[in-house]
Structure 1
């Protein structure tokens, strides 16, 4: 398959998309996994071939299957959802590379702090009306003011995994 997406506006299909994270805790012995259930996104492929877009996550929708932990993650030690209810990723460019690879350059904003973020996505499938991208990348939570780390239990980077399906918007 070669990446070839038509010019126009594309809307995220939330029912066929996922955004999840995982992070080592308990000194690397336990992996905490969570997923966001509320998110939205869109993209535009311009006539010159450039791509822009955005993905917005509702912080309160993060579910790790542990209510006490989820409340802590939404609190001031981590995402501070009361003051920063959304995480956003703004796509500045997405360049097709070899085969089914897309190199994405953007800006990640969490907890009111923005940092550049790049990653490589894989096109899982595409046709004239839809495209599905899989991506995984790491984030250093300290760069976003989430340095809480009781007794040094939390180590390493947070891994973010996405499957994003976009459908062509009606003209």
Structure 2
């Protein structure tokens, strides 16, 4: 059963569900020795969370690895292959938020774990929480991730430099 009371910030407690149409997960990464930037988006995302009466929150964001689209079919096929994301063996990229806090101005801190290609690492995010209504909130965060931490080490001729940046806009609605 879902509690329908509200937190001091005005959001309803209980279960929240990701609105895929109002959400996005984007990736940017330098290639060609830093001379070019590859940009892409994951088309399929899902998630849910829970907000307790004391304001404590936690949740999960699941991204379908095979839904990555960079606008280049050959590159996308390679990114999804066993050399990189290995989407056939590891179809989901999962971020589990163990602790989510937001202050009165909307500054957001998220502590959790990211699992990519079967490897889980801690990840702390910062961003913003904007309330559309007591029944809708948009979380906007950005993370810098070292792909090697997750076994994505393919790098022909050293062309791929530095970490990837992941940008997330996650719109959650109250689950009723």
Distance 1:118 1:98 in 2: 20
Q: Cα distance, 1:99 vs. partner?
A: 1.3
Measured against aligned partners, the alpha-carbon deviations of 1:89-126 in whole angstroms (never above 9, x if no partner) come to 00100012361111000000000000000011212333
| Paired positions, count | 169
Give unpaired runs (5+ residues) of structure 1: none
- 2:137 counterpart of 1:140: no
Indicate which of 119, 130, 134 corresponds to 2:136. Answer: 130
Q: Does residue 13 in structure 1 map to residue 19 in structure 2?
A: yes
SS in structure 2 at match of 1:27: helix
**Among residues 168, 171, 174, which one is paired with 1:165 in the alignment?**
171
Q: Does 1:112 align with 2:122?
A: no
In the superposition, the TM-score normalised over structure 2's length comes to 0.92
TM-score (norm. length: structure 1): 0.95
Give the superposition deviation at 1:168: 0.5
Aligned-partner SS, 2:76: helix
Whole-angstrom CA distance in 1 between matches of 2:9 and 2:154: 41
Give the Cα–Cα distance (whole angstroms) in 1 for the partners of residues 9 and 93 of structure 2. Answer: 28
2:51 corresponds to 1:45: yes
Deviation at 1:3, TM superposition (A): 4.9
Conserved 8 A contact 1:12-1:166:
yes
- Cα offset, 1:5, TM superposition: 2.5
Which residue pairs with 1:76 in the alignment?
A: 82
Q: 1:165 to 1:153 in 2, by over 3 A?
A: same
Structural RMSD (CA): 1.3
- Seen in structure 2, the aligned counterparts of structure 1 residues 146 and 99 have a Cα distance that, compared at 3 Å, is same
State the alpha-carbon separation in 1 of the partners of residues 155 and 55 from structure 2.
Answer: 44
Q: Counterparts of 1:37 and 1:165 in 2: how far apart (Å)?
A: 15
